[in-house]
Amino acid sequence: MHKTITGFSKLSKSEKIDWIVDTYFSNNDNAEIILKQYWNSDDKIQQLHDEFIENTITNYYLPFGIAPNFLINGQTYTIPMTIEESSVVAAASKAAKFWFDRGGFQTKVISSTKIGQVHFTYDGNTEDLTSFFNVVKPKFYEDTSSITKSMEKRGGGILDIELKNKTEDLENYYQLHATFDTVDAMGANFINSCLEQFATTLKANAEPSLSGNINIIMSILSNYVPNCLVRAEVSCKVEDLTENPNISPEAFAEKFIQAVNIAEIEPYRAVTHNKGIMNGIDAVVLATGNDFRAVEAGVHAYASRNGTYSSLTHAEVKDGIFKFWMEIPLALGTVGGLTSLHPLVKLALEMLGKPSAKELMQIVAVAGLAQNFAALRSLTTTGIQEGHMKMHLMNILNQFEATPEEKETLVSHFKTNAVTHSSVLENINKLRANN
């Protein structure tokens, strides 16, 4: 059992490191060195990172890659991607190039409304509550005017506030269900501030006129955003669909659509299928400083909206045209939060031409669709492992601390040999024995 500590957050960074090293790494001389190796040499950048979260002792790097040649609504983009998994950026780049030559991606934002709720209980008469709500409704807007002022200037604000009766599902349970337009902000802080004020206003005005008691349970935005929806699509003539000599375009289209059909009806496959989409989506969401947990939660809820978890993408052939598309909910921001703080995030957004939140929704959706196209193309033709293991080779070589010369020899060897963990190890050992 390790000792517990009180007042840890009050310690300085170096005292925190001393404590963790003494407590967990008494037999590991490298622990402190590793922690400090990841500090940024620029004190200002390090301080910025220290202050993003609490109890920071070091930084955790992820690779920041770029996928060029994306044509979206006639405009070319290079998409920044932050991800640890090999093959993802290569797959995105390949799919981008493939569709660049076939008219590119077409996208549009279908809707951009976000939702927040005040959850409360009320043990009186529902009609009473409804008339009270109608009387007090303008006060919700009045009391939040200092919060909504600058959002309204930017064209957003509170769209509507409804009273929802949920007592059939849970005794005495009601909601204030509010919709918001947060323009270029992801909007979590704005929405939560409005909601907490609604709760205060509701409670403050309630007691005298009502037959029951209002008890506020909580006020929080919803990460389920089915009305913050973006569509991305590619299409081309079936005959242009593949340059692969081992499969005809018609056979490829048929297999590809069948793969999508399977993901539409089979949850075990749908989860992996959608995971591949999220490889692209999360990587851009992270690179642009957005909240990937919120996006993940919302997207998977949307994938289950009809009662069974299902594919986010769809495909068809009609009149000789192959079409592949996706509609997904994405709550993103291009102002506020990390977007104006993190130097790499700022650079990523600049690379994308300083997009509005709506433009970013379209770019992110394209990264997801491209990723799914690339995955399904490999899966239904060569299989995923061939390309994957080649990319994985470098990770294995690094794991065994291969020298640049060893890497060169082994990359060349594995151009024509199957990559497995044990075969790489065997070949490194052979090389080392001969030197």
What residues line the site for ligand MEV (CB under 6 A)? 85, 272-273, 275-276, 279, 375, 379, 384
Does 388 participate in catalysis according to the annotation? yes
Report the residue number whose CB is nearest to ligand MEV.
276
d(CA 416, CA 257): 31
- Token readout for 407 is 């890497």
For residue 162, the cross-strand partners are 177
CB of 272 to ligand MEV, least distance (A): 4
Q: Are 286 and 83 in contact (CB under 8 A)?
A: yes
d(CA 372, CA 375): 5
For residue 218, the cross-strand partners are 119
Measure Cα distances from 291 to 27, 156, 188, 223, 296 in Å.
37, 20, 10, 10, 9
- Of the pair 275, 300, the CB lying nearest ligand MEV is at 275
Q: Are 419 and 388 in contact (CB under 8 A)?
A: no
State which H helix or E strand residue 122 sits in: strand 114-122
Does 291 participate in catalysis according to the annotation? yes
CB of 206 to ligand MEV, least distance (A): 51
Taking alpha carbons only, the member of 113, 318, 107 closest to residue 225 is 113
Does 275 participate in catalysis according to the annotation? yes
- Token readout for 251 is 């056979």
Does 413 participate in catalysis according to the annotation? no
- How many residues belong to the chain? 435
CB of 311 to ligand MEV, least distance (A): 10
- Of the pair 272, 395, the CB lying nearest ligand MEV is at 272
- Of the pair 119, 377, the CB lying nearest ligand MEV is at 377
- Of the pair 57, 384, the CB lying nearest ligand MEV is at 384
Q: Single out the catalytic residue among 275, 300, 323, 413.
A: 275
CB of 102 to ligand MEV, least distance (A): 21
CB of 416 to ligand MEV, least distance (A): 24
- Token readout for 154 is 């930017």
Q: Single out the catalytic residue among 85, 152, 254, 266.
A: 85
Q: Single out the catalytic residue among 300, 388, 407, 413.
A: 388
243: CB partners within 8 A, 6+ apart? none
- Of the pair 38, 268, the CB lying nearest ligand MEV is at 268
Q: Single out the catalytic residue among 50, 143, 181, 291.
A: 291
Supply the residues annotated as catalytic.
85, 275, 291, 388
